[in-house]
């Protein structure tokens, strides 16, 4: 047998591995850029705050990642955060119980996600239209209910006996690591396990790769789509709880604004294909942290806050462009020329 036929293609293997985990390289490059720009002002606490500030969007992004893998999208996550967060404040003020508040937030998230899932999965309506509609509905309800309460903002009652413990949870650290950041890491571990080691995770990728083939293989596509949106809602509920612990109040007019874009950006930077069926949920963690660092770089460079979203939007546009164009160019180069 020819030696060249049996020799392993080490170079190709390394290149493939780097391609599969490019989100780690991107994160490191952005982190190094931030450290260089920030210079001596960077502290260990500041670096750990990257994890803290990534927690809410990061948890949201894992739900968005699942939806995008199935070939869909969820534009309602920011408004869902607003509605669930506001109502959770009401529940906490009425019960003085962080546990009941958490249970309510998770339950409300499941309900909101189920609404999206039923319309997309069972009624087979386009996910873009459904979630664009619920994006308007959820925020509108949050603002309307606040007005019926005669308040300008959902504010947790600081006189309640459980307030300090709840708010303290959002500020707490364990061995210098923010607790909310540890929650994000725990969610990362769970989602990576679900997506790689469970039958459900395999069905999610199968539906996103080829829906018709998935149906022929006996996969219940409708149920999978519904469950994906339900999980997204559940994670929105958890994000709302984390937000309350970190901030203690909810302004339904501003909270979650553009968070759907930030979540999508975290997913794309994390290497998940917008066309569905490809990617690793582990990348979402690094994508979320990368986007947080980009935000800090913009602040460090002293740009006007009004131009912030212009820069972030441009980065998202470039990331999607690269994701689509680079593989096309690579495929064109590999394709043998015909005479």
Domains of the chain plus CATH, in order, are 48-323 (1.10.3470)
For residue 86, which of 139, 160, 33, 133 has the smallest C-alpha distance? 139
Highest mean pLDDT among 108-112, 171-175, 206-210, 321-325: 108-112
Looking at residue 328, what is its pLDDT? 67
Residue 239 burial (CB count, 10 A): 34
Give the C-alpha separation, 200 to 161, whole Å. Answer: 42
Strand partners, 250: 154
pLDDT value of position 18: 52
Determine contact, residues 77/232, Cβ cutoff 8 Å: yes
Question: 260-284: b or e for each residue (b if 16 or more CB lie within 10 Å)?
Answer: bbbbbbbbbbbbbbbebbbbbbbbb
Query: DSSP secondary-structure letter at 335?
Result: S
| Region at 133 (left for phi over 0; alpha for psi -120 to 50; beta for the rest) | alpha
Q: Is the pLDDT of residue 13 over 70?
A: no
Share of the chain above pLDDT 90, in %: 62
Residue 250 phi, psi dihedral angles, 5° rounding: -140, 125
Position 112 pLDDT exceeds 90? yes
Helix axes 77-95, 221-247, angle to 10 degrees: 60
pTM of the model: 0.89
- pLDDT level of residue 135 (50, 70, 90 thresholds): very high
CA 218 to chain CA centroid, Å, is: 29
Query: Binning pLDDT at 50, 70 and 90, where does residue 240 land?
Result: very high
The per-residue pLDDT for 1 is 46
Write the pLDDT tens digit of every residue in 167-214.
Answer: 999 999 998 899 999 999 999 999 999 999 999 999 999 999 999 999
Least confident residue range of 126-140, 261-275, 308-322, 324-338 = 324-338
DSSP codes joined into one string, 52-85: HHHHHHHHHHHHHHHHHHTT---TTHHHHHHHHH
What average pLDDT does the segment 143-147 reach?
A: 93
Q: Which of residues 5 and 168 earns the better pLDDT score?
A: 168
């Amino acid at each position: 047998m020819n030696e060249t036929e049996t020799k392993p293609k080490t170079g190709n293997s390394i290149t493939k591995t780097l391609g599969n985990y490019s989100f780690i390289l991107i994160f490191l490059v952005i982190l190094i850029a931030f450290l260089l720009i920030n210079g001596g002002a960077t502290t260990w606490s500041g670096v750990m705050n990257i994890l803290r500030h990534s927690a809410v969007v990061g948890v949201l992004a894992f739900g968005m990642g699942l939806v995008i893998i199935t070939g869909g999208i969820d534009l309602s996550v920011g408004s869902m955060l607003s509605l669930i967060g506001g109502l959770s404040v009401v529940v906490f003020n009425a019960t003085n119980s962080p546990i009941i508040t958490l249970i309510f937030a998770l339950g409300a998230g499941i309900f909101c996600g189920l609404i999206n899932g039923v319309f997309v999965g069972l009624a087979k309506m386009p996910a873009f239209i459904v979630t664009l509609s619920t994006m308007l509905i959820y925020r509108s309800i949050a603002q309307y209910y606040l007005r019926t309460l005669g308040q300008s903002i959902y504010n947790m009652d600081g006189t309640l006996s459980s307030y300090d413990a709840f708010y303290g949870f959002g500020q707490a650290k364990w061995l210098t690591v923010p607790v909310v950041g540890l929650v994000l890491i725990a969610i990362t571990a769970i989602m990576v396990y679900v997506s790689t080691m469970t039958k459900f995770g395999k069905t999610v990728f199968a539906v996103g790769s080829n829906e018709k083939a998935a149906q022929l293989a006996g996969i219940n596509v409708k149920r999978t789509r519904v469950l994906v949106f339900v999980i997204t809602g559940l994670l929105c509920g958890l994000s709302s709880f984390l937000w309350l612990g970190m901030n203690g109040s909810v302004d339904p007019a501003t909270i979650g604004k553009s968070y759907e874009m930030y979540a999508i950006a975290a997913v794309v930077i994390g290497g998940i294909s917008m066309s569905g069926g490809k990617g690793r949920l582990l990348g979402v963690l690094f994508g979320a942290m990368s986007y947080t660092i980009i935000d800090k770089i913009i602040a460090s460079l002293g740009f006007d806050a009004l131009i912030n979203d212009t820069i972030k939007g441009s980065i998202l546009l470039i990331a999607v462009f690269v994701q689509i164009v680079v593989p096309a160019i690579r495929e064109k180069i590999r394709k043998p020329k015909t005479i």
